[in-house]
Amino acid sequence: MFVIGTAGHVDHGKSTLVYALTGINPDRLREEQERQMTIDLGFAWLTLPSGREVSIIDVPGHEDFIKNMLAGVGGIDVALFVVAADESVMPQTREHLAIIDLLKVPYGVVALTKSDLVQDPEWLELVREEVREELRGTVLEGASIIPVSAVTGRGLQELLGELDRILDVAQPRQDLGRPRLSIDRVFSIAGFGTVVTGTLIDGRLTVGEEVQILPGDLRARIRGLQMHKTKVQEALPGSRVAINLSGVAVEDLRRGQVVTRPGWLEPTMLLDARLKLLNRVPWPLKHNAAVEFYAGSARVVGYVRILDKEQLLPGEMAWVQLRLAEPVAVVRGDRYIVRLASPSLTLGGGEIVQPHAPRRYPRFRSEIIARLEALSRGTCAEVFLELLAGTTILEARELIQRSNFSVMEATRTLRALVEKGEIIILAAQIPEEQALAHCAVPLLARNTWEGLLTQIKEILEAYHERFPLRAGMPREELKSRLQMGAEHFNLILERAAREGELVVTPLAVRLPAHRVVLSPDQRRAVDRVLAMFRADPYMPPSLAQVEGELGSELLQFLLEEGLLIKVSDSVLFDAETYAEMERRVVAYLKEHQRITVAEVRDLFGTSRKYALGFLEDLDRRHITKRLGDVRILR
Ligand code: GDP
């Protein structure tokens, strides 16, 4: 399916031409009919001589209505560019042409309307020449220029034939497997409820499917679909579609929101882009200038941060960051326009290279500019690696969506990069190719992985040197040193352990080569303390005493090695004694069902403090359970 959009100066005969071609009056409001001006997008459709059906959006020409024009022009394949033969090129002719050019509308044809009003063939030639001159250097350069008249019917067949000829070779809109429809109209129909219209791109929509509406994160279900007033079960990319939605109220919807499949598209307020300032803008664009930003049918206020120039001169290009006052739902590769509200003026536009800028960049940084250039040029593989540059970790589905390649190409490329080891997947198994597009497994570039491993090893090396008696670095401490979320951190440790790079226990991490070795002095001190424990096993030295004898590092070592067991802030037992006490208490409980602190005290001939500490430790380990004054077995 293809969408044709009209453009051109007000009163140059766009709506009349659409009516003459289609028999449908695209002016939809009574007010428009009365004023004979198309103040909102009008829609019509047409069967070309070949039998091909196309949609026509009639975009109004009046300066005040430029917003509507932009809402419509974002999704069109062919520009039907109208210039009245009697008046020739006018200011809005130029502005609309500039917008068509900035949005890179791929195809176009020029209709010289009202040709019946021009008697002099030389005049017609002059107008034709002037138009040809205007088109030079734009996407419409070389487009056919066809004199037509809605009054006499002249040229209409030729125009239809030309549209067919263009569409014979036109690239149909891609099916990227993730539909988007930028809402240009919202209304309700009695008996049906909420209806939105727009041009569907990048995928199909089906009756019954659940959709997400962004920004605003609303959910709804598709109750019905219409193309050209005909019900359909499935709408194809590149068509004008009306969607009847259930589960969402008209008041919650507005032009500029995007209807899509749930879960992948995230609105943004900071994006990286290429910006061209139009030649006809009378002054340079300053850094941080306030503009109106248009993409799809969205319009929001924003600020232009110019990254590689002091200011942008008319006719020049720059790398920019657009800081928006409200979120918009756009993807990499989308085209946009920036305008000034007052005086009303189209400034320029370009391509969105990264919808989610990782941060606000400092200006004049060559490495940042180089990165943006790579992102804008790259193949799918290059874009993946660029998106994963630095220390970025992205989920597989995020990476695929941000790259803006078709799901098929993206998953194939990703799979190949993972197999080549250029991208590391943080999972024990590589998911199936089909599953990659939906799966949340984190990915990182090989460089990032290697950098992380080196960093972890350096941290551990320093740690082992500083605390030679500790078996390893507590996981929590390492995690906070790396400033990493728990989920990614755990997956990274798992992988490093699988590969034998690190030894990971539930609480600590160490280098595989690290061994705790005691000096002869330390060994003697440890033996002496352990002997004290054996001498009086049920009333052994307190924690403070042991610390006094050995120091906290050596005490920590004995605890980590499991030679001593800490049951409270002051009470320790040696491991053998603890195990024996546990056996005897459990046996006692099996026989008597319950045990008190005093009974434990008497059982081992110890004091209340030791007995209580020991029992509380059994409670913590879920061996026993306290019920009032007694313990029972769990
Ligand atoms: P739009 O603002 O570009 O949509 O222009 P309209 O389609 O509303 O046309 C503006 C005026 O030009 C109307 O009064 C039309 O009747 C008139 N008009 C449009 N096409 C032709 C044509 O081919 N010949 C003549 N003589 N008048 C035309």
**124 and 19, same structural domain?**
yes
Ligand 1 centroid, distance to 19 Cα (angstroms):
10
Task: Give the span between the Cα atoms of 546 and 543, in whole angstroms.
Answer: 5
Tell me the average pLDDT across 292-298. 93
Ligand 1 centroid, distance to 175 Cα (angstroms):
37
| pLDDT at 480 > cutoff 70 | yes
Contact partners, residue 229, CB within 8 Å, separation at least 6: none
Last residue of a domain, one of 488, 517, 546: 517
| Ligand 1 contact via 38 beta carbon (within 6 Å) | yes
Query: What pLDDT was estimated at residue 409?
Result: 80
**392 and 345, same structural domain?**
no
**338 and 210, same structural domain?**
no
> On the CB side of 606, how many CA atoms lie within 13 Å of its CA?
24
Ligand 1 centroid, distance to 86 Cα (angstroms):
11
| pLDDT at 162 > cutoff 60 | yes
Ligand 1 centroid, distance to 16 Cα (angstroms):
5
| Ligand 1 contact via 33 beta carbon (within 6 Å) | no
Ligand 1 centroid, distance to 258 Cα (angstroms):
34
Ligand 1 centroid, distance to 37 Cα (angstroms):
10
Range of the domain at 499: 378-517
Query: What pLDDT was estimated at residue 402?
Result: 81
Q: Is residue 174 domain-resident?
A: no
> Which residue's CA is the closest to the ligand 1 atom numbered 28?
114
Residue 621, Cβ density class (10 Å: 0-12 exposed, 13-18 middle, ≥19 buried): exposed
Ligand 1 centroid, distance to 15 Cα (angstroms):
7
Q: Is residue 456 domain-resident?
A: yes
Query: What pLDDT was estimated at residue 38?
Result: 45
Q: Is residue 185 domain-resident?
A: yes
Tokens of 113: 């309307």
Task: Give the span between the Cα atoms of 9 and 116, in whole angstroms.
Answer: 18
Q: Is residue 58 domain-resident?
A: yes
Query: What pLDDT was estimated at residue 613?
Result: 95
Question: CATH number, domain at 127?
Answer: 3.40.50.300
Task: Give the span between the Cα atoms of 347 and 341, in whole angstroms.
Answer: 10
How much of the chain exceeds pLDDT 70, in percent?
95
Per-residue pLDDT of 1-41, as tens digits, reads: 788 989 999 899 998 999 899 887 765 544 444 444 444 55
| Ligand 1 contact via 406 beta carbon (within 6 Å) | no
| Ligand 1 contact via 87 beta carbon (within 6 Å) | no
Tell me the average pLDDT across 88-112. 93
**195 and 126, same structural domain?**
no
Q: Is residue 404 domain-resident?
A: yes
**252 and 328, same structural domain?**
no
Query: What pLDDT was estimated at residue 37?
Result: 44
* Pairing mode, strands 42-47 and 53-58: antiparallel
Per-residue pLDDT of 504-530, as tens digits, reads: 987 889 999 998 888 899 999 999 999
Burial code (b: 16+ CB inside 10 Å, e: under 16) for 507-539 equals ebbbbeebeeeeeeebeebbeebbebbeeebbe
Q: Are 585 and 625 in contact, with CB atoms under 8 Å apart?
A: no
Ligand 1 centroid, distance to 297 Cα (angstroms):
27
| Ligand 1 contact via 354 beta carbon (within 6 Å) | no
Contact partners, residue 431, CB within 8 Å, separation at least 6: 396, 425, 439, 441
Query: What pLDDT was estimated at residue 65?
Result: 57
Question: CATH number, domain at 209?
Answer: 2.40.30.10
Ligand 1 centroid, distance to 441 Cα (angstroms):
58
**158 and 42, same structural domain?**
yes
> Which residue's CA is the closest to the ligand 1 atom numbered 24?
114
Query: Considering only 3-7, 162-166, 461-465, 606-610, which range has the smallest mean pLDDT?
Result: 3-7
Q: For a ligand 1 pocket test, name from 16, 25, 83, 92 the mutation site with the most ligand atoms within 8 angstroms of its C-beta.
A: 16
Q: Is residue 373 domain-resident?
A: no
Last residue of a domain, one of 495, 517, 539: 517
**501 and 382, same structural domain?**
yes
| Ligand 1 contact via 16 beta carbon (within 6 Å) | yes
Q: Which atom of ligand 1 is nearest to the CA of 117?
A: 26
**158 and 56, same structural domain?**
yes
**361 and 288, same structural domain?**
yes
What does pTM read for this prediction?
0.69
Picking from 320, 444, 421, 324, the residue whose alpha carbon sits closest to that of residue 372 is 320
Burial code (b: 16+ CB inside 10 Å, e: under 16) for 427-466 equals beeebeeeebbebebbbbbeebbeebbeebeebbeebbee
| Ligand 1 contact via 268 beta carbon (within 6 Å) | no
| Ligand 1 contact via 117 beta carbon (within 6 Å) | yes
Number of Cβ atoms within 10 Å of the Cβ of 33? 13
> Which residue's CA is the closest to the ligand 1 atom numbered 25?
114
**149 and 35, same structural domain?**
yes
Per-residue pLDDT of 257-291, as tens digits, reads: 999 999 888 999 999 999 999 998 999 999 999 99
Tell me the average pLDDT across 153-167. 96
Task: Give the span between the Cα atoms of 621 and 513, in whole angstroms.
Answer: 32
> Which residue's CA is the closest to the ligand 1 atom numbered 10?
11
Task: Give the span between the Cα atoms of 392 and 488, in whole angstroms.
Answer: 11
Most confident of 373-382, 412-421, 576-585: 576-585
Number of compact structural domains in the chain: 5
Q: What is the mean pLDDT of the chain?
A: 90
> Which residue's CA is the closest to the ligand 1 atom numbered 22?
114
How much of the chain exceeds pLDDT 90, in percent?
64
Query: Considering only 254-258, 367-371, 457-461, 562-566, which range has the smallest mean pLDDT?
Result: 367-371
**604 and 461, same structural domain?**
no
Last residue of a domain, one of 169, 188, 209: 169
**584 and 459, same structural domain?**
no
| pLDDT at 149 > cutoff 60 | yes
| pLDDT at 122 > cutoff 60 | yes
> Which residue's CA is the closest to the ligand 1 atom numbered 19?
13
Q: Is residue 175 domain-resident?
A: no
Ligand 1 centroid, distance to 357 Cα (angstroms):
46
Per-residue pLDDT of 585-602, as tens digits, reads: 999 999 999 999 999 999
Question: CATH number, domain at 623?
Answer: 1.10.10.10
Tell me the average pLDDT across 299-315. 97
Query: What pLDDT was estimated at residue 385?
Result: 87
Q: For a ligand 1 pocket test, name from 6, 9, 10, 11 the mutation site with the most ligand atoms within 8 angstroms of its C-beta.
A: 11
Ligand 1 centroid, distance to 183 Cα (angstroms):
29
Q: Which atom of ligand 1 is nearest to the CA of 12?
A: 3
